Structure 1
Amino acid sequence: MDCRLSCELIAHAYADQAPSSSARARLYLAIREAIIARRLAPGTALPPTRTLAAELALGRNTVVRVYDQLIVEGYLDSRVGSGTFVSDAVTATAPQQKPRRMVGARSEGLSRRGCRIASGALSSRVQAGAFMPGFPDVSHFPFATWRKLVAKQMRLEQRHLAQYGYGGYGPLKLVLAEYLRVTRMMSCSPQQILILNGSHQALDLCARMLADVGDVAWMEDPGYWGARSVLAASDLAIHPVPVDAQGINPQAADWDHPPRLIFVSPSSQYPTGAVMSLERRLRLLEYAEKNRIWIIEDDYDNEIRYHGHPVASLFGLSAAQRVIYVGTFSKVMYPGLRLAYLVVPEDLVEAFTTGNAELYREGRMLEQAALAEFIDGGHFTTHIRRMRGIYEERRDRLIEVLQRHLAGIATPAGGLAGLHIPVHFERPLDDVLLAARALREGVVMRPLSLYAIDPANRRAGMNLGFAAVPVEQIEAPALKLVRLIHDLLPAASR
């Protein structure tokens, strides 16, 4: 398909979008849906931005921003001197079925919920390289030990490991209860722990078991897009609450309207890295008890911390048992393991266990048995201690390079825990455009502005993951970002 035909196809798809949306949103959805449906096949050349802008009677900047956003998300590739093309990476993930006719902003084959999920996702198809946030360095994981433990469970031929596991593998829950007592000052019984396939499933179970359609859920803003997507998919009303250096910071108008759920990451807020102050923690717990609110505590990277002792978990502080605790092994082991766990109040154990079995069915018992021995044998804590030192060195190196070359332009923040650092721009810069240009040069950068829900809480910057980049390889891609940032600065600001 040549540029002329792709221009006509995009124009028709654009006309089919809901007119109530902004021009930029309509164009973004038109191109994205055409790519997903294979009407724009991998390798297809898109029309030049000036040509498409003239065809649709839009400003060229609108088309440029849409192209850049789709490049960041991996749907398009920009080839210097050649133009913009549909990414070949779409081949592996795009549906193979016959393309569907679009009606307005909705596909005939999708529900309204499905359309919202497909068109509103913020996840990137690019999931590796410097500086993709949130990914551990799996090259240092003790796979030899892990293989032995898995092989041992297979040799034993424990037939119960081939069955569903109601609530999870008992010995794993036992060692987790002890681990949480020592590391998180949490007093819970093994029965209060449910093993699930990833934190997204854990959040989905919470939403389904604790809230009804239309109930309000507070979300940190900016905050984790994955949690927002899961809760929104359950038709909850997402209410953004601003974040400052002490964590979630509800305003007077927020306190006056109690929600059903509150989602927070108090140990290391994502993406700002803020640690919630004790005063905020206690006030939030008191508010939840008074108004019968459920708090979902996401403790996604507590193990990877670079500052003293951890602050007590909300679950451990909650005398009234209004907190559901979410833990995961994705950051400290490897993402593909897809094992997470919930710790629920005692009076929710039976209902949550039943709900988990009814909605998802338990599995992965072989891996759960191996994980129980991995933790009980000390391999888990040994790996965490080792990686904490490696990650801290990489974090410090990245911060040093950025501070040396971007003083007064961009400021690293957070960095007390986790696998990423947010970098805030001190001067006007388009972080989405920067991300698109960086990706063309092989550098991954997530724009901080995309994490905000309310435009009032939007701040431009970079979310940079350092964990999977060897320390000696950090400077080269970091200097590419430095150069691109200087290129984007107005001449008077350089």
Structure 2
Amino acid sequence: MPTDVERRTGLSRKLYEEIRARIADGTYVAGERLPSTRALAAERGLSRATVSLVYEQLAADGFIESRAGAASRVAHGAAQASAVGRTKQARSTVPEPDHLAGPLSAIGQHIASLTLGDSSPTASGEIDFVYGPLSGNDFPTLAWTKALRAVERQRSHRLEYEDPRGNLELRRALQAHLSQTRGLACSVEQLLIVSGSQQALDLCARLLVQPGASVVVENPGYRMAHHAFEAYGAKLLNVDVDSQGLVTEQLAALGPTQMVYVTPTHQFPLGSFLPISRRRQLLDWAADRRAWIVEDDYDSEYRYTVRPEATLYSLDMHGRVIHVGTFSKTLSPQMRLGYMVLPTALIETFTNAKRVTDRHAATGVQRALAKLLEEGSYDRHVRRIRRLQQARQRALLQALDRHLGGEVEVQGTASGLHVVVWFRSLPATAERALVGSARQQGVRVYPISPLFNPSKTRPAEQRSAGLVMGYALQDLDAIEEGVRRLADALRDVRG
């Protein structure tokens, strides 16, 4: 229980804050007379001494003016400051004129022009077929907690900044893991631990692309990667994607370029796989143009039919490929842990850039992940979660067949955590109506059109409506119910 002194202190602080708030919101205007200490004490059930102390503090802080034998009044300076604050608050939603706003750098102007559009939170009862998030129930909580406790018990007596390339234990464990699972041979020095694949893309754009230079991207493709290049003033050159990934035959007609960004193992979003012939064609083209290849090894852990093909990095004979991977799709996107395998010529530059950017990734999670890799817990987790995701995909495909049958065509089922569902009878222009109708039915789905850049070879008018449907977040019953609601939404759109 509070003592009498603590109670009086709390009451006086409450009264002080209340009067300040009334001055700030204009209830008490400049020059207005405040109640006497006697009247306010009687009104609030406080002692007059308590109110007097509050008035003295307000006067000392410049909010009121007090004189002996005269009533206390709101100070003119305080009212003016409050008026300015209210004016700024009222205008907070209105863009300020250019001459009032601070200048932005060229990069700042590019970033300000991007439309990123984060989605609103999922409402209660909604079934969300979002792609990207994972189910919290799938996280290996026990193994992760055990690893974290172990590394905390081994905390060094000297707390200092670590190697910008990342924790050495993790890089050694990752080197062995990539050799076993991806057939990728590299030295520990070539590995750079980053804050997710997005930081890897940002580093590539910042260090390797001149403003105004061209970057080749897949169309449709991963828009957050495209934005990373656009933020630094790059010009995007769109190359189509078909059932075998990037259409490499289109590369020869392109002008000078400094970089190409590809997702060869599981093309985002269509899910196609780049065959060996196109991989070699891409590598030869990049060598001739002296262009860098950023290989995003997206969803390589989730191939349900055959083992992934050799990486572009493993096939590269000219040191032009930068291999990028992440743990966001196997553990959690909230961990913000990814990695890069760099050509030898780029190690020092990227290491310095990482140091300047954020010194290094958080050490504790790096060491915990190293333990999971060393003990085999991570590999066991991946095998378990791969079975779970395959079961969810199977449930989604069966539900689509049951409720939509011949109405849809499904693409990208060989791997990954999402599929693309094409609606044969709906044009691409109907995607917005379908998404809106589904939302009314309590199910959230996501159109594929925003993942396309404008293209002369594949205009939107020639496409059917398509949805990118993720299944990693839902259980089997929710998947079934969500597709049933989607079928109702389709009927409403047709009606």
Q: If the TM-score is normalised by the length of the shorter chain, which range does it land in?
A: 0.7 to 0.9
Deviation of 1:326 (Å): 0.5
Secondary structure of the structure 2 residue equivalent to 1:262: strand
Residues 59-117 of structure 1: CA deviation (Å, up to 9, x unaligned): xxxxxxxxxxxxxxxxxxxxxxxxxxxxxxxxxxxx99961643689993573654653
Deviation of 1:126 (Å): 3.8
Secondary structure of the structure 2 residue equivalent to 1:326: strand
**Separation of aligned partners in 1, 2:318 and 2:158:** 36
- Residue type of the alignment partner of 2:369: L
Q: Please point out which of 275, 293, 296 is paired with 2:294.
A: 296
In structure 2, the partner of 1:469 is 474
Secondary structure of the structure 1 residue equivalent to 2:163: coil
In structure 2, the partner of 1:376 is 374
In structure 2, the partner of 1:99 is 92
More deviation, 280-289/160-169? 160-169
| 2:245 equivalent to 1:240 | no
Residues 138-171 of structure 1: CA deviation (Å, up to 9, x unaligned): 2121212211211222222224565243210011
Q: How does 1:15-26 map to 2 (within 5 A)?
A: none
Do the aligned residues in 2 keep the contact of 1:403 with 1:411 (CA within 8 Å)? no
Q: Please point out which of 464, 484, 488 is paired with 1:483.
A: 488
**Separation of aligned partners in 2, 1:258 and 1:381:** 42
- Residue type of the alignment partner of 1:102: P
Q: 1:483 to 1:162 in 2, by over 3 A?
A: farther
Do the aligned residues in 2 keep the contact of 1:431 with 1:447 (CA within 8 Å)? yes
| 2:115 equivalent to 1:121 | yes
Residues 46-66 of structure 1: CA deviation (Å, up to 9, x unaligned): xxxxxxxxxxxxxxxxxxxxx
In structure 2, the partner of 1:445 is 445
- Residue type of the alignment partner of 2:283: L
**Separation of aligned partners in 2, 1:352 and 1:166:** 9
Do the aligned residues in 2 keep the contact of 1:325 with 1:344 (CA within 8 Å)? yes
TM-score for the superposition, normalised by structure 2:
0.75
Size of the aligned set, in residue pairs, is 396
Residues 335-381 of structure 1: CA deviation (Å, up to 9, x unaligned): 10001111001121111111211233213011101110011111111
**Separation of aligned partners in 2, 1:410 and 1:394:** 18
Do the aligned residues in 2 keep the contact of 1:102 with 1:108 (CA within 8 Å)? no
**Separation of aligned partners in 1, 2:98 and 2:129:** 33
Residues 365-420 of structure 1: CA deviation (Å, up to 9, x unaligned): 11101110011111111011001111111101111111233233221111211111
In structure 2, the partner of 1:226 is 224
Q: Please point out which of 185, 192, 195 is paired with 2:183.
A: 185
| 2:357 equivalent to 1:364 | no
More deviation, 308-317/139-148? 139-148
Do the aligned residues in 2 keep the contact of 1:106 with 1:115 (CA within 8 Å)? no
Q: 1:447 to 1:307 in 2, by over 3 A?
A: same
Question: Which consecutive residues of structure 1, in runs of 5 or more, have no partner in the other structure?
Answer: 1-94
Secondary structure of the structure 2 residue equivalent to 1:423: strand
Secondary structure of the structure 2 residue equivalent to 1:331: coil
In structure 1, the partner of 2:433 is 433
- Residue type of the alignment partner of 2:95: M
Q: Please point out which of 338, 341, 365 is paired with 1:340.
A: 338
Identity of aligned pairs, percent?
Answer: 33
**Separation of aligned partners in 1, 2:454 and 2:291:** 23
Q: Please point out which of 193, 196, 214 is paired with 2:212.
A: 214
Secondary structure of the structure 1 residue equivalent to 2:467: strand
Do the aligned residues in 2 keep the contact of 1:307 with 1:416 (CA within 8 Å)? yes
Deviation of 1:314 (Å): 0.5
Secondary structure of the structure 2 residue equivalent to 1:300: coil
Secondary structure of the structure 2 residue equivalent to 1:121: coil
- Residue type of the alignment partner of 1:146: W
Do the aligned residues in 1 keep the contact of 2:442 with 2:485 (CA within 8 Å)? no
Residues 272-305 of structure 1: CA deviation (Å, up to 9, x unaligned): 0010111111100011111101000001210121
Q: 1:142 to 1:253 in 2, by over 3 A?
A: closer
Secondary structure of the structure 2 residue equivalent to 1:421: strand
Q: How does 1:273-284 map to 2 (within 5 A)?
A: 273-284=271-282
In structure 2, the partner of 1:130 is 128
Residues 169-189 of structure 1: CA deviation (Å, up to 9, x unaligned): 011011111111111111100
Do the aligned residues in 1 keep the contact of 2:437 with 2:492 (CA within 8 Å)? no
